[in-house]
Chain A
Amino acid sequence: MEQLKPPRPDSYLALAIISTIICCMPLGIVSIIYATKVNSLYADGHYDEASKASKNAKTWGLVSVGVAVVGLLIYVLIFGVALFGAMSNGDF
């Protein structure tokens, strides 16, 4: 019996690589592992699991990018303000 193939879920590989590079926590690695699972599960015909893995890849990727960006912004705001304060006092 030929089953109709549902559309391939996105593996979010690019997002996973971006999060691995910009986020200094290896959370992105988890995202890449899920991205790998999406493709292999889809190839084996496990479409439901593949779309679940796709959602996981997206979540992990977005969370790690989000953590990195928010962390960076907080750091830059705190230390940037301190640095400019020191500069304007002539200590720097």
Chain B
Amino acid sequence: MAISKLKLVFIIIGVLIFFGMLALYFFWNPSEVDVFPSCSFYSITGIYCPGCGSQRAAHKLLNGNVIEGIRHNYLIALLALVLLYQAFIFVVNTILDKQIINLLHKPKVTFGILILIILFWVLRNINLFPFTELAP
């Protein structure tokens, strides 16, 4: 399968932007420098969205503070889990040529993830002790 020239250009631009953003978040701390936009949803409504805190989390993670990073936004852990699982399934099924059932293809699992994210969204906005941990 040949990749068209236009697609190749898009991929190269995407990779450049990706590494540029990594560098940006590596060198500057979003809670100290005003270069980064704060969440537009939070600025307008005053309600945290499921993505709030991910910029601070990216800064902390890139600098090696994994636990502090995840505490800014626990969904990062969910994303890492899903990506690792997909990679694992890919390796086992495609490279080792086995037929393991992908749990992420089960409707209940996907639905569960949707519920988890919405629950996370609601709970992180509750200003009481155990839930304040979820806030960014």
Give A residues with C-beta under 8 Å from B. 8, 11, 13-14, 17-18, 20-26, 28-29, 32-33, 35-36, 38-40, 42-43, 69, 71-73, 75-76, 79-80, 83
Majority DSSP secondary structure for residues of B touching A: helix
A-B contact pairs, 10 of them (CB 8 A): A14-B79, A17-B75, A21-B51, A22-B51, A24-B42, A36-B107, A36-B110, A71-B37, A75-B35, A76-B37
From residue B61, how far is it (CB to closest CB) to chain A in Å? Answer: 12
| Stretch of B91-99, B111-119, B125-133 lying at the A interface | B111-119
Q: Which of B79, B105, B110, B113 contacts A21 (CB 8 A)?
A: B79
Give B residues with C-beta under 8 Å from A. 17, 21, 24, 33-37, 39-42, 49-52, 54, 73, 75-76, 78-79, 82-83, 86, 104-107, 110-111, 113-114, 117-118, 121
Do the beta carbons of B51 and A39 come within 8 Å of each other?
Answer: no
With A39-B106, A39-B110, A76-B24 known to touch, is A21 a contact of B73 (CB < 8 Å)? yes
From residue A22, how far is it (CB to closest CB) to chain B in Å? Answer: 6
Q: Which of A17, A40, A69 contacts B113 (CB 8 A)?
A: A17
CB-CB < 8 A to A75: which residues of B? Answer: 35-37
Majority DSSP secondary structure for residues of A touching B: helix
In chain B, what residue has the closest Cβ to A39? B107
From residue A21, how far is it (CB to closest CB) to chain B in Å? Answer: 5
Q: Which of B37, B105, B117 contacts A20 (CB 8 A)?
A: B117
CB-CB < 8 A to B37: which residues of A? Answer: 71-72, 75-76
Q: Which of A11, A24, A25, A79 contacts B104 (CB 8 A)?
A: A11
CB-CB < 8 A to B39: which residues of A? Answer: 24
